[in-house]
Structure 1
Amino acid sequence: MTVWVLGDQLTREVGPLSRADDERVLMIEAREFARKLPSHPHKLVAVFAAMRHFRDELRADNYTVEYHTVETFGEGLDAHFADYPGDRLECMRPASHGADERLTGLVDERGGDLALVENELFLCAPDEFDDWADEDFKQEDFYRMMRRETGYLMAGDDPVGGEWNYDTENREFPGSDYEPPDAPWFEPDDLTETVVEWVDEAFSGGYDEPPYGGDWADQEKFGWPVTREASLAALDAFVEERIDKFGPYQDAMLTGEATMHHALLSVPLNLGLLHPREVVERVLDEYEARDLPLASVEGFVRQVVGWREFMRHVYRREMPELASANQLDADRSLPELYWTGETEMNCLAEVVDGVRKRGYSHHIERLMVLSNFATSFGVRPAALNRWFHAGYVDAYHWVTTPNVVGMGSFGTDALSTKPYVSSANYIDGMSDFCGDCAYAKTKTVGENACPFNALYWDFLGTHEERLRGNGRMGLVYSHWDDKDEDERAAIRERADEVRALADDGDL
Structure 2
Amino acid sequence: MGNKMIRKLVVVLGDQLNQDSLVWQDFDAKQDAVWMAELPEESTHVKSHKQRTVLFLSAMRHFAEQLRQHAWSLHYLELGSHDFVSFELALKDFLSRHPVGSVELVLPGDYRVLQQIKLACQQTATPLNVLPDVHFIAEPGEFKTWLAGRKKPTMEYWYRHLRQRTGVLMDLTTGGKKPLGGKWNYDADNRQSFGKAGPQAVPEPVRFAPDQITQEVMAQVQTQFTNHPGQLDEFGWPVTRAQALQALDDFIANRLTKFGDYQDAMWSNQAWLYHSLLSVALNLKLLNPREVIAAAEQAYQQGRAPLNAVEGFIRQILGWREYVRGLYWSYMPDWLHMNALDAQQDLPGFYWTGDTEMACLKDSIGQVLEHGYGHHIQRLMVTGLFALLWQAKPEQVHHWYLAMYVDAVEWVELPNVLGMSQFADGGLMASKPYIASGQYINKMSGYCQHCPYSPKEATGQQACPFTTLYWGFIERHQEQFRGHPRLGMQVRHLDAMSDEKRQLIQQKIRQLRDITA
Asked if the contact 2:14–2:60 (Cα under 8 Å) also holds between the matched residues in 1, the reply is yes
Structure 1's unaligned 5+ residue stretches are: none
1:32 and 2:67 correspond: no
Q: CA deviation at 1:493?
A: 1.6
Does 30-39 or 454-463 show the bigger shift? 30-39
In 2, the alpha carbon distance for the partners of 1:86 and 1:331 equals 47
Q: CA deviation at 1:475?
A: 2.6
1:171 and 2:171 correspond: no
In 1, the alpha carbon distance for the partners of 2:253 and 2:73 equals 37
User: What is the match of residue 372 of structure 1?
Assistant: 385
In 2, the alpha carbon distance for the partners of 1:487 and 1:221 equals 46
In 2, the alpha carbon distance for the partners of 1:53 and 1:202 equals 20
User: What is the match of residue 186 of structure 1?
Assistant: 208
Give the structure-2-normalised TM-score.
0.92
1:15 and 2:22 correspond: yes
User: What is the match of residue 50 of structure 2?
Assistant: 41
AA in 2 matched with 1:57: Q
Q: CA deviation at 1:460?
A: 0.3
AA in 1 matched with 2:466: F
Asked if the contact 1:12–1:18 (Cα under 8 Å) also holds between the matched residues in 2, the reply is no
Asked if the contact 1:9–1:121 (Cα under 8 Å) also holds between the matched residues in 2, the reply is no
User: What is the match of residue 415 of structure 1?
Assistant: 429
Aligned positions of 1:76-95 closer than 5 A:
76-78=90-92, 80-81=94-95, 84-95=98-109
User: What is the match of residue 162 of structure 2?
Assistant: 146
Structure 2's unaligned 5+ residue stretches are: 1-7
1:112 and 2:112 correspond: no
SS at match of 1:446: coil
User: What is the match of residue 463 of structure 1?
Assistant: 477
Query: Residue by residue, what CA displacement relative to the aligned partner does 1:389-428 show, whole Å, maximum 9, x if unpaired?
Result: 1211111221221111111111112111111111111000
Aligned positions of 1:149-298 closer than 5 A:
149-155=165-171, 156-175=176-195, 176=197, 178-205=200-227, 210-211=228-229, 216=230, 218-298=231-311
Asked if the contact 2:89–2:120 (Cα under 8 Å) also holds between the matched residues in 1, the reply is no
Q: CA deviation at 1:18?
A: 4.8
User: What is the match of residue 310 of structure 1?
Assistant: 323
User: What is the match of residue 483 of structure 1?
Assistant: 497
1:55 and 2:87 correspond: no
Asked if the contact 1:90–1:116 (Cα under 8 Å) also holds between the matched residues in 2, the reply is yes
In 1, the alpha carbon distance for the partners of 2:111 and 2:70 equals 33
User: What is the match of residue 455 of structure 2?
Assistant: 441
SS at match of 2:450: coil
Query: Residue by residue, what CA displacement relative to the aligned partner does 1:202-230 show, whole Å, maximum 9, x if unpaired?
Result: 0012xxxx54xxxx4x5433111011111
- Aligned CA distance change for structure 1 residues 337 and 98 (closer, same or farther; 3 Å): closer
User: What is the match of residue 359 of structure 1?
Assistant: 372
Give the structure-1-normalised TM-score.
0.94
User: What is the match of residue 405 of structure 1?
Assistant: 418
Asked if the contact 1:85–1:112 (Cα under 8 Å) also holds between the matched residues in 2, the reply is no
In 2, the alpha carbon distance for the partners of 1:285 and 1:14 equals 25
AA in 2 matched with 1:469: G
In 2, the alpha carbon distance for the partners of 1:231 and 1:279 equals 11
Count of residues in Structure 1 that have an aligned counterpart in Structure 2: 494
Does 285-294 or 5-14 show the bigger shift? 285-294
Query: Residue by residue, what CA displacement relative to the aligned partner does 1:120-177 show, whole Å, maximum 9, x if unpaired?
Result: 1211134111111123221111111111111100012001000001011111122536
Q: CA deviation at 1:322?
A: 1.3
Asked if the contact 1:424–1:453 (Cα under 8 Å) also holds between the matched residues in 2, the reply is yes
Pairing partner for 1:5 from 12, 15, 20: 12
In 2, the alpha carbon distance for the partners of 1:41 and 1:262 equals 22
Query: Residue by residue, what CA displacement relative to the aligned partner does 1:249-305 show, whole Å, maximum 9, x if unpaired?
Result: 111101111110101011111111111111111211222123411000000111011
In 2, the alpha carbon distance for the partners of 1:290 and 1:241 equals 14
1:137 and 2:138 correspond: no
SS at match of 1:91: strand
Asked if the contact 1:81–1:87 (Cα under 8 Å) also holds between the matched residues in 2, the reply is no
AA in 1 matched with 2:20: E
SS at match of 1:26: strand
Cα RMSD for the two superposed structures: 1.7
Does 389-398 or 157-166 show the bigger shift? 389-398
- Aligned CA distance change for structure 1 residues 254 and 18 (closer, same or farther; 3 Å): farther
Q: CA deviation at 1:430?
A: 0.2
AA in 1 matched with 2:14: G
SS at match of 2:277: coil
- Aligned CA distance change for structure 1 residues 379 and 281 (closer, same or farther; 3 Å): same
In 1, the alpha carbon distance for the partners of 2:13 and 2:321 equals 20
AA in 2 matched with 1:402: P
Does 442-451 or 65-74 show the bigger shift? 65-74
AA in 2 matched with 1:187: A
AA in 1 matched with 2:151: E
User: What is the match of residue 5 of structure 2?
Assistant: none
Query: Residue by residue, what CA displacement relative to the aligned partner does 1:222-244 show, whole Å, maximum 9, x if unpaired?
Result: 11101111111111111111110
User: What is the match of residue 4 of structure 2?
Assistant: none
Q: CA deviation at 1:102?
A: 2.5
1:382 and 2:389 correspond: no
In 1, the alpha carbon distance for the partners of 2:452 and 2:97 equals 64
Asked if the contact 1:126–1:313 (Cα under 8 Å) also holds between the matched residues in 2, the reply is no
User: What is the match of residue 464 of structure 2?
Assistant: 450
Q: CA deviation at 1:64?
A: 2.6
Q: CA deviation at 1:108?
A: 3.0
In 2, the alpha carbon distance for the partners of 1:135 and 1:466 equals 20
Q: CA deviation at 1:84?
A: 3.7
Q: CA deviation at 1:19?
A: 4.7
